[in-house]
Amino acid sequence: MRVVHSPLHLLHEPPFEVFSGHPGPAWEVTARAESIRAALAADPAFALELPAEHGLELALAVHEPGLVRFLAEAWPAWQASGERPAALMADTFPYPRSRSARRRPPEPRAPGGRVGYWSFDTTSPITAGTWIAARAALDVALTAADAVLAGDVVAYGLCRPPGHHAGRSTFGGYCYLNNAAVVVARLLGAGAGRIGILDLDFHHGNGTQEIFWERGDVPYASLHGDPHRVYPYFSGHADETGEGAGAGATFNQPLPAGTDDTAYLTALDRSLDWLAGRHDGIVVVSLGIDTYGLDPICDFALTTPAYHEAGRRVAATGARLVILQEGGYHVAHLGENVRLWLRGAAGLTPDAAARPGDGG
Q: Which of 5, 164, 165, 308 is catalytic?
A: 165
CA angle 3, 192, 211 (to 5 degrees): 80
Between 127 and 348, CB nearer to ligand Q9C: 127
Q: Which of 6, 30, 119, 123 binds ligand Q9C (CB under 6 A)?
A: 123
Between 210 and 326, CB nearer to ligand Q9C: 326
Integer CA distances (angstroms), 23 to 16, 86, 123, 179, 329, in order:
7, 13, 10, 27, 17
Question: Which residues, 6 or more positions from 96, have their beta carbon under 8 angstroms from its beta carbon?
Answer: 102
- Identity (one letter) of the amino acid at 137? A
Integer CA distances (angstroms), 306 to 200, 286, 310, in order:
13, 16, 6
- What is the Cα–Cα distance from 113 to 59, expressed in whole angstroms? 23
CB count within 10 Å of CB 333 equals 18
Q: Which of 51, 196, 242, 288 binds ligand Q9C (CB under 6 A)?
A: 288
Does 165 qualify as catalytic in the annotation? yes
Paired residues of 224 in beta bridges: 254
Q: Which residue is nearest to ligand Q9C (CB)?
A: 327
Question: Which residues, 6 or more positions from 269, have their beta carbon under 8 angstroms from its beta carbon?
Answer: 313
DSSP 3-state of 244: helix
- Residue 174 interacts, among Zn ion, ligand Q9C, none and using kind-specific CB cut-offs from 5 to 8 Å, with ligand Q9C
Q: Which of 117, 231, 251, 292 binds ligand Q9C (CB under 6 A)?
A: 231
# chain residues binding ligand Q9C, by CB under 6 A: 15
| Whether 270 contacts 305, CB under 8 Å | no
Cβ neighbourhood burial of 265 (10 Å; 0-12, 13-18, 19+): middle
Handedness of CA 166, 170, 171, 172 (dihedral sign): negative
Q: Which of 350, 319, 323, 346 is nearest to 155 (CA)?
A: 323
Minimum distance of ligand Q9C from residue 146's CB (angstroms): 23
Q: Which of 162, 236, 254, 350 binds ligand Q9C (CB under 6 A)?
A: 162
Minimum distance of ligand Q9C from residue 198's CB (angstroms): 15
By CB under 6 A, tell whether 125 contacts ligand Q9C: no
Q: Which of 111, 113, 173, 225 binds ligand Q9C (CB under 6 A)?
A: 173
Between 172 and 327, CB nearer to Zn ion: 327
Q: Which of 34, 199, 210, 326 binds ligand Q9C (CB under 6 A)?
A: 326
- Identity (one letter) of the amino acid at 276? A
By CB under 6 A, tell whether 207 contacts ligand Q9C: no
- Residue 234 interacts, among ligand Q9C, Zn ion, none and using kind-specific CB cut-offs from 5 to 8 Å, with none
Between 8 and 289, CB nearer to ligand Q9C: 289
Query: Which residues make up the interface to Zn ion (CB under 5 A)?
Result: 201-203, 288, 290, 327
By CB under 6 A, tell whether 335 contacts ligand Q9C: no
Binding site for ligand Q9C (CB under 6 A): 19, 123, 162, 165, 173-175, 201, 203, 231, 288, 290, 297, 326-327
Q: Annotated active-site positions, please?
A: 165
